[in-house]
Structure 1
């Protein structure tokens, strides 16, 4: 009940701010209005979209000398204040467009003169080339985020979302599908601004289910403001799927067949007057693949060495389907609702040879056969209502979402020796998440805006684990090993953000957010010895950002943000997974959230037409780092490698990121990105014996790509990725590299495309090696997977549509919280459950 009162208090505080705010459009205190204002909006005449950063100049009618001016904002709007009565010439200009001039009159006694929508026509040179190169750039740098336009990149065709994310600036995806942003895996992944149960269960598997041809663009937000959930210390990755904002009926089909995976995708969009209906379906399936494994573990204190060699054969499939209906009742009220379904499965059969020795004296040797099948799926249903007031930018929105997900794992293990008993088990986890969200935006004046809101997230997770051991000729239920773990997490939040346009070129944004978290966990098996867990904490999350627009399309931005990272069920479930006799795993319900403070300085520029530079330097200080750590342990009289999770210490990280795009010659585009950052963990006293040597490690991620447009609509592209090994406080995880080439042909007036993709032509298999080296444990693993692939992809767009200005953005629900397992839950962790 106290948490409910906290939410009410936060909302009441916001309402007090609204009640005391001056009327919209009135100048703030101390800022007297002299003369009148001239306002308007600049629109691209072909696409109907706003033109950002266009130059608007004002001159007395009949003269050529400019006396005032402004730049358009992200919505193409501009305002020129303090204009004395008279007639003026308003001129709009922007690179690649023909300049446009109109006559406007500032009337005495009239506060504002609206020049309306000003349509810009592309210049003659641009119109000549639009059939070949007149496109949105692959990477855009915006005021608060970096946007990667996947639909403009031919090399991702026929792949999945993981292949797309590998090419996004500042984002890394390793061989298991684990996703990190600037080296930080604590990143929140959204689809169309909303969380999805598929990502909550396993981000890696969810990305494999989502076809690349269904993705329009990817937004990367490294310094979220206080209006975003505090969760996700690394930042936010928002994947936008294709939904064409135009009137009429349109759609597309695409697919691919390759040596590693096959996929298909279909979209249908119906936009008629006030009604919009969007549906899509996409899926993929892989051919069975064989993985080779080597694992060695040595405990110096006892001299015990454990060795595993083997292989496994894995096949998988997955699909996502969604539908959305939105209706605009009038210019002030709109309603939207949608549902997203997902399902996936992977099956693994493997055999390993195992041995154990003590000071080089053999103790035992045996064979083990593993059979594992995991099926996961669920749905996300959401609805949101938006009310717009008469003043531009003044709106209220209410949103709700129900996410339901299931994760079912079944396995059994057979041994060739009587030293170990055969075992069978299953874990059928269920997660229900309910969210309610209220957001309010109030422009206090033309230069001051306040945003506020409240939110509640209620999670109900149940993870039953059943184990069966051999008795006679069959399996019997094992009361001691089996367990049902129930976990509830409620989060209540309130926020306020103030935005101030201090001058024509300087903008300021400050905000604060309060989040209260209440956690309860309990086991239904008293024999397991797992005690109930209870925890609650309150976090204050401030944010600050200031940006300045410079001459010649340059901008600079400085920001500070504080983020937290709550652990999800994979980290919390205290049940001990003993399905592997040499390596066992257990969660920790007493984990505290990570807390990260970030400072970032960003600079972007367009030094010449078709080129762009974006660079940033940053510093991150993280306390209570949540990491897994391995240590030697004893179970049933035998030494095992035991892995659990804890708040292992602190970390300071300095980093720099550089992205560049250039067109050195006609039809050739080169792009590159380099991220370099440090990792220096300081282990707390309880973990110093389990930590590797404490020093500063440099890590990096780099990619370079090139594309060339040949005559007759042939396009060739290539890119290469190189990621350094990722450090942990005990050792390192594998490095990753990949080279992709593609060649595509467009036809039917560019409505259809067919192409071929080649991945790592000189590497049939790829090895991934990781190490742990502490004073108490030395561990090494190496596994290899088939990697070289060749595939054919195609796409076709259909329908007759008319472009219309882009409609207002629906807010929806945006749960940016919970530290994810980044795909680890999909690697056969049977007893832990993965219902979150």
Structure 2
């Protein structure tokens, strides 16, 4: 079935591209241009462009600028015209343009808009776009304008994004929820599906242009991701000519490198990128203890481990516009990473406060992961602006290979080695149709199919009393899992009088699941499940005076467990602390209501605040319990639908420039968590109190003479609560000093992270009636690094706006770091 869908996509792309659809009439053309802010020299989004005959008072046609400030007015007969550009807070600009039968198309070039007089009195001329922008449906963090992220990776960037937090393991949360879908250029990647944390480490910060945060997605988006959507946009030049950049960093903790090349000529566009990073080996100290009060058995484990890692990501894309109505695009992204951990530990077991067992063991773990994402799409635009259809497909292939060994000093324990090879393939076909019913009404509809296949092969070998290693059929397994999602949606948007906007939509999704184990000795039952969800969405907005806006939204989202949570492979590399997935998990369902207010205080100052309520059922959380393995007591971590939660929260973001060249930014998110364990999990729950959790950061920048810039930021995150206990908090302070030269084409800088903390401790606790567990580890944290960047090439502006392309899978609950059971297991 999946191969027929891919073949149909390719055939349709070729067929559509070859059809002479929507040909332009011979006596009509178009008028296009770019609207630029006179102060910042940046594009002006959503400005109104009216077209009228020279000498006439009434407009005959018009358009809005897109998010790149460009506009295009179609079906223009030859003649002389007056182009009128207007936008709130700016002086109206009028220019004259002529077309003829011999030259029906006209490019008005750059049209400069100047702020109105009352706005100019409030503005300090900085020439820079804000680091954080609040738009109608999302918050945008402009990473390329923040010097403190240079030389880092995507995880460092996400730590600076409003409402987003990243813990010490690389787990990403949005407003405290890890049920967030991360996209790269609007598309999912196989690397993120395998491990969010490792995928973010593979992506250099210097490759990121901005990050979009969508907290209340409409029904157009996949229903997955109860916390919201984070879309990472990489740097791409959409201009005519050849350009590129190189950047890198060398530090005491990690090293980075990145290179970009952009070729744009007429209708052909080619982009290429390569980036990578590596870390110096670092030593981690660990402490684990687990007490079962019922039998008064205490297990204590201490040790040290040395970890090193590397990763790279490369991509290429080719797009071609046949004409103003038809275009195709295809691209591929390839990535690979590896981490290696080698350590020694000492284990002690106490029974009734007496030492009953003591031994040491050596552990070696090597994991290599990688894959590719290939996509192709076709876009056809009709004569009416905004009227278009698109057909897109994507194939994501990801491998996760893990080798480990555990050697024990206690002869009664089996020495173990293991190999786990997992392959994950995802095939997607997506069709979207947009119809402007009128100037005030727009219809969006579409359909989508996602087919996911995983094959995980685990081979274990054991040895007793130093005997040769032999294949262990009791542990080895081949597990196959298939998850297919079929969906369709419709969204209606209305532009109402007096600044009101309304959007209503619905999405229907059917999920079919099959899972089988090849080893009956493991007792893993086959699973076969199917469920259908209806996902409504609603939003109403009001534009107020003086650049203020209000938005009230309701959304319902589901969170399917991803393969890290489902894989029943049991990781026994540590004899006392083990981990296993759960293929019987049900999806989470979250309903949320949010009220948002934003205001631009000046060109460089803004505030954004919101209050929200979320009701979540069938919460998926890690579940730790006492268990036995080979007749010995162990602590087993798995995943379950533990209950439900009602959460009330508020977030505030502000940016202010009190004096010239000085900017302060701050963000605070506060939300409640009250665990309501259900069924059997009530007996395993910890405290039932309501907890207040928070995430906050504050930053400041100061522009000095001679193109010197000094910046600093601090992050404060509270411990993350679970129904059994809490996970570690995360705090960090960073300083950066940068110097620009060669007409700002080059930059060199120094980054300092936590100069007064050589290492950091991260502690998690579980405190229930049946289990008391503490895990604590410390890692080197203080770091110093040098970074540089250089841009080259000469480009000219191309007024043709790029089409929105590609597949967007807002999908699957992720376990970002090594806290979760990986696809390959044994991590």
Say whether 1:616 aligns with 2:610.
yes
- 1:461, 1:89 → 2: CA distance? 56
| Residues 50 and 641 of structure 1, relative CA distance in 2, 3 Å threshold | same
> Which residue is equivalent to 1:497?
491
User: What is the CA-CA distance between 1:99 and the residue it aligns to?
Assistant: 4.3
**When the two structures are superposed, what TM-score results if normalisation uses the length of structure 1?**
0.88
CA distances 1:317-364 after superposition (whole Å, capped 9, x unpaired): 000000000000000000000000000000000011100011102110
Contact preservation (8 Å) 1:48, 1:806: no
2:143 counterpart of 1:150: yes
- Alignment correspondent of 1:763: 757
Segment drifting more, 716-725 vs 607-616: 607-616
Matched with 1:17 is none
Find out whether 1:120 has 2:120 as its counterpart. no
Q: Are the counterparts in 2 of residues 303 and 358 from structure 1 also a CA contact under 8 Å?
A: yes
Shift in alpha-carbon separation, 1:49–1:504, aligned structure 2, 3 A = farther
Cα separation, 1, equivalents of 2:499 and 2:214:
22
The CA deviation string for residues 583-635 of structure 1, in whole angstroms up to 9 with x for no partner, is: 12222211110000011111110122310001111111000001111111122
Question: Among residues 650, 656, 659, which one is paired with 2:653 in the alignment?
Answer: 659
What CA distance in whole angstroms lies between the structure 1 residues aligned with 2:122 and 2:753? Answer: 31
Give the secondary-structure state (helix, strand or coil) at the position aligned to 1:664. Answer: strand
Residue aligning to 1:636: 630
Q: From 706, 719, 730, give the equivalent of 1:712.
A: 706
CA contact (8 A) 1:407 1:833 kept: no
Contact in 2 for aligned 1:186/1:232 (Cα 8 Å): yes
Report matched runs for 1:383-462 at 5 Å. 383-462=376-455
In structure 1, runs of 5+ residues without a counterpart are: 9-38, 80-86, 105-113
Alignment map for 1:553-564 (pairs within 5 Å): 553-564=547-558
> Could you tell me which residue of structure 1 aligns to residue 745 of structure 2?
751
Residue aligning to 2:311: 318
The Cα offsets for residues 760-807 of structure 1, whole Å up to 9 and x where unpaired, read as 000000000100001100001110000000000000000001123362
- Report how far residue 56 of structure 1 moved: 8.7
- 2:36 aligned residue: 44
For the 8 Å contact 1:566–1:594, the answer to whether it is kept is yes
Q: 1:89 to 1:143 in 2, by over 3 A?
A: closer
Distance 2:582 2:306 in 1: 32
* Secondary structure of 1:199 counterpart: helix
In structure 2, the residue corresponding to 1:374 is in which secondary structure?
strand
Determine helix, strand or coil for the equivalent of 2:575. coil
Deviation readout 1:111-167 (Å, 9 max, x if unpaired):
xxx998992244699999999820111001000100000000000000000000000
- The 1:128/1:598 distance shift into structure 2, 3 A limit, reads closer
Distance 1:100 1:828, change over 3 A: closer
**Retained in 2: the 8 A contact 1:305–1:357?**
yes
Contact 1:460-1:489 at 8 Å conserved across structures: yes
CA displacement, residues 537-589 of structure 1 (integer Å, 9 cap, x when unaligned): 00000011111111000011111111101011221122333222111222221
Describe the SS at the equivalent of 2:571. coil
In structure 2, the residue matched to 1:174 is 167
CA contact 1:294–1:782 (8 Å) conserved in 2? yes
Q: How many Å apart are 1:100 and its aligned residue?
A: 2.2
Give me the TM-score of the superposition, normalised by structure 2: 0.89
2:344 match: 351
Aligned residues: 777
Name the residue aligned to 1:536.
Answer: 530
Distance 1:427 1:89 in 2: 64
Partner of 2:322: 329
> Whole-Å Cα distance in 1 between the matches of residues 121 and 540 of structure 2?
39
Question: Which of 203, 218, 227 is the aligned partner of 1:210?
Answer: 203
The answer to whether the 8 A contact 1:411-1:830 is kept is no
More displaced stretch, 777-786 vs 467-476: 467-476
Deviates more, 1:640-649 or 1:365-374: 640-649
SS at match of 1:474: coil
Contact 1:577 1:830 in 2 (8 A): no
List runs of 5+ in structure 2 lacking aligned partners.
9-30, 74-80, 98-105
The correspondence for 2:332, drawn from 319, 339, 351, is: 339
Distance 1:764 1:184, change over 3 A: same
Is this contact kept in 2: 1:668–1:706, CA < 8 A?
A: yes
Give distance in 1, aligned partners of 2:609 and 2:122.
29
8 Å CA contact 1:384, 1:398 repeated in 2? yes
1:88-487 aligned at under 5 Å gives the runs: 92=86, 95=89, 99-101=92-94, 119-122=111-114, 133-470=126-463, 473-487=467-481
Tell me: CA distance 1:806–1:174, structure 2 relative to 1, closer, same or farther (3 Å): farther
Q: CA 1:515–1:828 in structure 2 vs 1: closer, same or farther (change >3 Å)?
A: closer
Kindly indicate whether the alpha-carbon contact (under 8 Å) linking 1:579 and 1:831 is maintained by their aligned counterparts in 2. Answer: no
Provide the rounded CA distance (Å) in 1 between the counterparts of 2:606 and 2:823: 48
State how far apart, in whole Å, the 1-side matches of 2:421 and 2:493 are: 47
Alpha-carbon shift at residue 637 of structure 1 (Å)? 2.0
Aligned-partner SS, 2:438: coil
Q: Give yes or no for the alignment of 1:645 onto 2:645.
A: no
Structure 1 565/292 Cα, relative in aligned 2: closer, same or farther at 3 Å? same
CA contact (8 A) 2:327 2:379 kept: yes
Task: Provide the rounded CA distance (Å) in 2 between the counterparts of 1:337 and 1:170.
Answer: 33
- When residues 382 and 206 of structure 1 are mapped into structure 2, their CA distance, relative to the original with a 3 A threshold, is same
Distance 1:504 1:151 in 2: 36
Shift of 1:245: 1.3
Distance in 1 (alpha carbons) for counterparts of 2:645 and 2:524: 31
Are the counterparts in 1 of residues 561 and 813 from structure 2 also a CA contact under 8 Å? Answer: yes
Q: 1:347 touches 1:373 (CA, 8 Å); kept in 2?
A: yes
- Cα gap change, 1:123 to 1:631, in 2 (>3 Å): closer
| Whole-angstrom distance in 1 between the partners of 2:289 and 2:617 | 32
Contact residue 353 and residue 365 of structure 1 kept, 8 A: yes
- d(CA) in 1 for partners of 2:524, 2:727: 31
CA distance in 1, matches of 2:785, 2:215: 34
Sort the Cα spacing of 1:174 and 1:43 in 2 relative to 1 into closer, same or farther, 3 A.
same
Aligned 8 A contact 2:369 2:399 in 1: yes
- Cα gap change, 1:361 to 1:448, in 2 (>3 Å): same
Measured after TM superposition, the shift of residue 237 of structure 1 is: 0.4
Structure-2 change in CA distance of 1:73 and 1:527 (3 Å): closer
Name the SS of the counterpart of 2:298 in structure 1. Answer: strand
Measure, in 2, the Cα distance between the counterparts of 1:387 and 1:70: 19
Q: Per-residue deviation at 1:473? A: 3.3
The CA RMSD over aligned residues, in Å, is: 3.1
**Equivalent residue, structure 1, for 2:23:** none
Residues 340, 636 of structure 1: CA spacing in aligned structure 2 closer, same or farther, 3 A cutoff? same
Task: Provide closer, same or farther for how the CA distance between residues 136 and 809 of structure 1 changes in structure 2, counting only shifts above 3 A.
Answer: farther
1:775–1:749 distance in 2 versus 1, CA, 3 Å: same
Q: Within 5 Å, which residues of 2 pair with 1:568-607?
A: 568-607=562-601
Determine the C-alpha separation between the residues in 1 that align with 2:137 and 2:122. 30
1:742 aligns with 2:729: no
**How far has the Cα of 1:832 moved from its partner?**
3.0
Q: Name the SS of the counterpart of 2:206 in structure 1.
A: helix
Change (3 A) 1:453 1:70: closer
Cα offset, 1:820, TM superposition: 1.1
